[in-house]
């Protein structure tokens, strides 16, 4: 139980394009999901809290207009990286909360050329 999936697992795009990443809770409903970035050999950095049916809450320093989050249902949250640039290349991880515990997706590796 408590399985979280992400799609795609990796994506390569050109600078200036937008990329959408999906996060799904497969066997439970999650009113709250989280989006993280993980840089090589570093810990997870929380980007934003995704709340079903309401606006996401962004951490300090994260541009909400660049990283658009939509949590339209209890099992799906999406992160759209708009006008991606090479510095946005990273490993993006989502998690979904169930019974007070976060369960993590496998991550999406984004490479912006």
Binding site for another protein (CB under 8 A): 32, 34, 42-44, 46, 49, 57, 93, 95, 97, 100-107
Could you tell me if 82 and 18 are in contact, meaning their C-beta atoms sit under 8 angstroms apart? yes
Task: Indicate the residue among 49 and 82 with the shorter CB distance to another protein.
Answer: 49
Distance of CA 57 to the CA centre of its chain: 13
Least Cβ distance, residue 80 to another protein (angstroms): 21
**Angle value at C-alpha 21, between 32 and 74, nearest 5 degrees:** 30
Among residues 75 and 105, whose Cβ is nearest to another protein? 105
Closest separation between CB of residue 60 and another protein, Å?
Answer: 11
- Rounded CA-CA distance 46/27 in Å is 24
Say how far apart CA 104 and CA 95 lie, in whole Å.
Answer: 4
CB of 50 to another protein, least distance (A): 10
- Specify the residue, 82 or 109, whose C-beta has the smaller distance to another protein: 109
Q: Which is nearer to another protein, 86 or 100 (CB)?
A: 100
Phi then psi for 86, rounded to 5 degrees? -55, -30
Smallest gap from Cβ 1 to another protein, in A, equals 11
């Amino acid at each position: 139980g408590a399985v979280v999936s992400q799609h795609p697992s990796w994506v390569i795009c050109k600078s200036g394009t937008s990329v959408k990443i999906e996060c799904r809770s497969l066997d439970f409903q999650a009113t709250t999901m989280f989006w993280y970035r993980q840089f090589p050999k570093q810990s997870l950095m929380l980007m934003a809290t995704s709340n079903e049916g309401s606006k996401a809450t962004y951490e300090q320093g994260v541009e909400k207009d660049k990283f658009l989050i939509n949590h339209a249902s209890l099992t799906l949250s999406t992160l759209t990286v708009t006008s991606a640039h090479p510095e946005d290349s990273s490993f993006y991880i989502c998690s979904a909360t169930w019974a007070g515990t976060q369960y993590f997706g496998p991550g999406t590796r984004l490479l912006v050329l």
